[in-house]
Structure 1
Amino acid sequence: MVVGGGGSVVVVVVVVVVVVVVVVVVGGFVVVGGFVVVPGFGVVVVFVVVVDAARLDVDVVPRAGGRDVV
């Protein structure tokens, strides 16, 4: 009976990254926030970005007829 037999052990690590992004328009500002979770590593990165909607090229206010005017 041979134990071990000089075989190699292959370890496959699967990393699952969960990214959640929330975009909210508040008082003419576009707030983008979210977090990144890497299970098993305990890494959580929270980020919040506030952008003035007036600087964006896209008008975030819906117009009549359900169309957005750019």
Structure 2
Amino acid sequence: MQSGQLISKRATEVLEAMDLSGSDTVHLLMFRIAEERRIPFAVKAPNSTTPNVIAHLEDNSANSLNSIDA
């Protein structure tokens, strides 16, 4: 299972436990953005290592990292 699919599966499980759909959640997020005129959580720019780590993890042969120096 690819990382995006795993994240979606995990998030869907959490949302279902809260009796929410993905669509409900997006609607709630958009409502908060409109009301608060900001994204309701911290958004941080990735550092220079992040793209390399993501590429390494998305490589089908990569199961884990031994260090953060990808």
The TM-score normalised by the length of structure 2 is 0.23
Report the structure, 1 or 2, having the larger helix content: 2
The answer to which structure has the higher strand fraction is 1
Superposition TM-score, scaled by structure 1 size: 0.23
